[in-house]
Chains A and B, each alone.
Chain A
C-alpha cells in the first residue's frame, strides 16, 4: 500500500475504442467491484433511514457483546453497535476521500492539460512542483498540517488531495503531449478552432479513460490514508468512522482482538474494489484477457513427431539440410502456420541466398534453424539436420551448445542488437571465454584482432565503447565480429545490410564475402535484395508466403528464373533499368560481382 504520494504511473494513454464498456462488464471481478462501490455509495445515502441503532449510543451494560440478533456484528467496549458504526462510517469515508479525489483531480487534470498542451515555462514549473510533491512522505506533511490546524480529518484530506495531484497531472500531461501534434489536432487548429474547443473535443476524449483509472487508484490511496489518520487520532473521535473503530480496536487489541476485524475488512474490501475496477478498466482498454499467464514450456523440449510421410532424403554432403520444415505460432485450434514445408540445404562453404518479400517466411526459417523463434513460435513439423544431427530432437542445452560455435547469427538492425548496458569489448569476449575457454587476456587480444579484421579503425577505442557511442555501420561490424568470433561453420545473416547506408552496405558485403572465403564457413544470406544475392551467393532459394518457390544457382535465377514470381521479384527491382540483365548500381556495372565471379 502506498501511503506517501506515490503515484501509479504505468497507465499508458490509450485512445478509447468502442465496446469498452462491454469488455469491462464482461470481466467478472470488475463488475463485482463496481457493484461493491455502488453499494457503499447507496449505504452512505440511505443509512439515516435504515433505523439502525445509534452508532454513538454508549451503553456499558451492552459492552463487548458477541454478534447476535440485537447486534448483528456485536458491540464494542462502550456497547456501541459495530454494524451500525460500519454502515455510518461510509459517510465519513466518502466525504473525506471524496474531498481528496475531487481536489487532486481538478488541479491535476487542469494543470496537466495546460502543461501538455502549451508546454513552455508552465510545463517546466508544474513538472518541477509535481516531482517535488512526489518526493514528500505524504503522511508527515499531513501531520505537519495537523500541527497548525489541529486534528481535523477533512482539512488533512483536502491537503492530501493537493499532494495527490501528480497522479492526474502526469497521466494527463503525457496523454496530451502524445496527441498534441497529431494531424487531426493540427487540422483543427488550422481550421481556426479555439484552444478551448480543441481541448474539449479532441484532447479530453483521449485523457478520459486514463483519468478514470487513476481516479480509482487515487481513491483507494485516499481511503487508506484517511483511515490511517483516524487510527492515529487525527479526527473528531465522536464521529463513527472506520479509522476510529480501528483506533479503538488497537487500544484494546490485547483484550478484544476481534474489534479490528470489521473495520479492517471494510477498508480492505473498498480499497480492493477500487483497485480491481481500475485494473479491469485498464485491461478493457488494452483489450487483453485476464489470466493471460500460462506456464512457459521451455522451447525445444517438445521434440517434433517424425513426419508421417517418409522422411525425404537429406543430401549426403550437406552441412545443413532442412526438409519439409513447418513453423507455427500458438497451440491447438489457435495455431497459425507461417512456414508451410520448406526444404533446402547448404553445403560446407556454400553461400545460399534466402530471398523473398517481407512476410515470405524467410526470417522464420532462419530463426527455426537457429532455434531462436520468437515466443509462441515452434517447429511444428519437418526435420533440420545439421552436420548429421537432428536439431529438432535436441534439448535446450544441446541446442544452446551449437549456437555460436557451429551456427552463428548476424542480425538486421545493428543498433538494437547490441546490449546497451555493456561495453562492446565485454560483449565480444564473454562468448569466447565461455564457449572457447579462452583466458581473459587471450579473449581480449582476439577481440581486438577481430575488430581490426572487420575494418574498425581504432579497435582499442571501440573495445571500450558502449553501443550508443558507435555508428550503425560500426555496430554492424561489431556484430559480424561477434558472429565469427567462435569460428562457426554456418553463418546465418538476416538482412545484414538492409539497415545501413548505401556506401556502408557495399563495404559490409565485401567484408562478409572476404570472411566467408577466409574461413570457408557456409552462409545462409536472408535478403530481399537481388543485388546482395548477385554479390555474394552461390545458390538462391526464393520464398513466397511461407513456401519455397524455386531453388537454383544464382546465374539461373538472375538470368532465367523458372517461376513467374521470381521474375516479378526481379522486375520490381529493375523498374528503372529494364535493359540491364541484373540489378546493379548504375555506376558499378564495370565491377559487377557476377563478372568477378566468372
Chain B
C-alpha cells in the first residue's frame, strides 16, 4: 500500500513538472519577444534588453525553467505583467471560488450518480430509461448552454437566484449557497449522467459475477448485498470515471465562471489570455493541474482502499 501510494505520488509530481515545463517554455518561446510585448512598440532597444534581463529571459531555457521552478516551490510565481500583482496572491484570492464549485459539483455528482446508476441497474424500468435519455442530453448539451437557460429562467425571469456574483462561504453560508446553486447545477448535469452510466454498467457487470450468487445463497437481504458487495465492487469504475469527469468540470468551470461573473481561476484564465499575461496564465495552469492531481490521488487512494487487488499493481 505504501509503495502504491509513493508511486502514485511520484507520477503526480512528474506530471506537474512536465506540464509546468511545457507551459513555461512553450508559452514564453511561442510569444517570442516577451519584453517588447510587455513594454510596447515604443520601447527602445536598451529598455527591452533591460527588461529581458530583469525577467531573466536572457538566460538559457533550462536555466530559466529551473529558476522559475525553484521560485515556484518557495511560493513565488512572479508578478503579473499587467497589474504587477503577485501571481501567487492572485491565485490564492481566486482559488476558493473555483474550489467551491469543483468540490460541491464533484461530491454531488458522485453521490447522485452512484445512487441513480445502481438503482437503474438493479430495478431498470423508467429510472433506467430516463437515465439513458439524460445521459444523451448531458453529452449533447454543453454546460454553458444549460447555464444560459438557467440564468434566463431562474435569475432574470423568476429572480430566485442571483445571475452573477459570488459570496464567500466564510462571509455568509446562505449567500454562498445561493450564488453557487445555478453554476453547480449547470456544471453537474452532464457529469452526473455520464458517471451514472458508468456506475450502471459496472453494477450490471458485478451483478453477473458468481460471488453475488454465493452471497445471496448465504441468506443476506438483497438491500444489504447491493449496499455492500455490489456497491463496493462497482465503485472502482465509477470513481475512476468521476476522476476523469473532474477534468471536464474544471474545463466547464471556465465558461460557468465567466457567465456567472464568478471571480475564480477559470475567469482569471480568460482575463490573462486576453491580456497576454504570461506569468498569470502559467500560474493558473499550474493551480488547475494541482487540483486535477489532488483529485486523482484522492480517487486512487479511495479505489485502493475499496479494491484490495488494485494495491498490488
Contacts and interface: CB of A to CB of B under 8 A. Distances in A.
Interface of A: 1-7, 10, 132, 134-141, 143-144, 146-149, 151, 217, 220, 224-225, 227-228, 231-234, 246, 249-250, 253-254, 257, 260, 264, 267-268, 271-272, 274-276, 279, 291, 293-296, 370, 372, 375, 396-397, 400-405, 408-409, 411, 413, 416-422, 427, 430-431, 434-435, 466, 468, 479, 482-483, 486
Given A231-B255, A419-B229, A421-B229, A147 B27 contact: yes
B201 A147 contact: no
B244 A6 contact: yes
22 contacts: A2-B194, A2-B245, A3-B248, A4-B251, A140-B254, A141-B285, A148-B26, A148-B31, A220-B140, A232-B270, A234-B273, A257-B156, A260-B152, A264-B145, A271-B140, A295-B123, A375-B207, A403-B217, A417-B213, A419-B233, A420-B308, A466-B308
Given A132-B18, A253-B152, A402 B27 contact: no
A231 B248 CA distance: 18
Interface stretch (B1-9, B49-57, B88-96, B276-284): B276-284
Given A1-B139, A2-B251, A295-B126, 4 more contacts: A139-B251, A293-B132, A420-B211, A434-B219
B124 A268 contact: no
Given A3-B251, A404-B217, A422-B232, A220 B211 contact: no
Contacts of B143: 1, 3
A246 B148 contact: yes
A151 B281 CA distance: 15
Contacts of B308: 420-421, 466, 468
Pick the most buried of A137, A151, A228, A260: most chain B CB atoms within 10 A of its CB: A137
A335 B273 CA distance: 64
Contacts of A253: 148, 151-152, 156
A217 B220 CA distance: 42
Contacts of A140: 250-251, 254, 266, 269, 284-285, 288
Interface in B211-254: 211, 213-222, 224, 228-229, 232-233, 244-245, 247-248, 250-252, 254
B142 A137 contact: no
Given A1-B138, A132-B18, A271-B140, A416 B247 contact: no
A6 B248 CA distance: 6
Contact of B30 (A2, A149, A275): A149
Given A1-B141, A144-B23, A228-B142, A434 B149 contact: no
Interface string B286-309: 001100110010000000001111
Interface string B83-115: 000000000000000000000000000000000
A296 B132 CA distance: 17
B214 A479 contact: yes
Given A136-B289, A138-B251, A435 B232 contact: no
Contacts, number: 258
B250 A137 contact: yes
Contacts of B140: 1, 220, 268, 271-272, 274-275
Nearest to A5: B247
B248 A4 contact: yes
Contacts of A271: 139-142
B61 interface: no
Which 10 residue pairs are nearest across A and B when measured between Cβ atoms? A404-B219, A295-B125, A409-B217, A3-B251, A224-B142, A403-B219, A148-B30, A4-B251, A271-B140, A272-B140
Contacts of A430: 218, 220
A256 B26 CA distance: 42
B219 A431 contact: yes
Given A137-B288, A140-B254, A147 B148 contact: no
Contact of B307 (A146, A397, A421): A421
Nearest to B214: A417
Contacts of A416: 209-211
Contacts of A420: 211, 233, 307-309
Nearest to A271: B140
Contacts of A264: 145, 148-149
A143 B273 contact: yes
B148 A144 contact: no
Contact of B31 (A147, A225, A257, A375): A147
A486 B145 contact: no
B219 A134 contact: no
B137 interface: yes
Given A293-B125, A417-B214, A422-B229, A143 B219 contact: no
Contact of B156 (A254, A396, A417): A254
Given A3-B255, A143-B254, A372-B216, A228 B144 contact: yes
Nearest to B244: A6
Contacts of A7: 244
B72 interface: no
A296 B81 CA distance: 62
A136 B19 contact: yes
A418 B209 CA distance: 10
Nearest to A149: B30
A159 to B, nearest CB: 11
A370 B213 CA distance: 10
Contacts of B274: 146, 151, 233
A233 B270 CA distance: 10
Given A416-B211, A420-B211, A136 B247 contact: yes
A272 B142 contact: no
A529 B109 CA distance: 52
Contacts of B141: 1, 268, 271
Interface string B147-160: 01101100011000
Given A137-B288, A430-B220, A2 B190 contact: yes
B272 interface: yes
Given A144-B23, A148-B30, A137 B292 contact: yes
Contacts of B198: 10
B149 A260 contact: yes
A413 B190 CA distance: 40
Contacts of B259: 250
Contacts of B151: 253
Given A2-B248, A135-B292, A276-B136, A232 B219 contact: no
B133 to A, nearest CB: 11
Contacts of A268: 140-141, 145
A169 to B, nearest CB: 15
B258 interface: yes
Contacts of A431: 218-220
Given A279-B136, A293-B129, A435 B218 contact: yes
A1 B190 contact: yes
Contacts of B23: 144
Contacts of B220: 400, 404, 430-431, 434-435
A6 B242 CA distance: 11
A417 B248 contact: no
B122 interface: yes
B128 A293 contact: yes
A417 to B, nearest CB: 4
B15 interface: yes
A413 B266 CA distance: 53
A416 B219 CA distance: 19
A296 B251 contact: no
B254 to A, nearest CB: 5
Contact of B247 (A137, A144, A228): A137
A357 B211 CA distance: 24
Contacts of A276: 136
A295 to B, nearest CB: 3
Contacts of A404: 217-220
A3 B142 contact: yes
A5 B156 CA distance: 33
Interface in B144-194: 144-145, 148-149, 151-152, 156-157, 163, 190, 194
A400 B26 CA distance: 64
A435 B306 CA distance: 25
